[in-house]
Structure 1
Amino acid sequence: MIQIGKKDDTGSATEIGEQAKLALDEYFQSFHERNQWVQSEKEQLAQGMECYGFEWEHLSIIEFKKQERAKAAQQVQKRQRQRSRGWER
Structure 2
Amino acid sequence: MPDSQDGPRFLTLADVAEMLSTSSAQVYALVRRGELPAIKIGGRGQWRVERSRLEEYIAQQYRQTERYVAEHPFEDSETEAETPPRGL
Flag whether TM exceeds 0.5 (same fold).
no
Please give the TM-score of this superposition, normalised by the length of structure 2: 0.32
State the structure with bigger RCO (CA 8 A, min sep 6), 1 or 2: 2
Q: Name which one, 1 or 2, has greater alpha-carbon Rg.
A: 1
Please give the TM-score of this superposition, normalised by the length of structure 1: 0.32
Greater helix proportion: 1
Greater strand proportion: 2
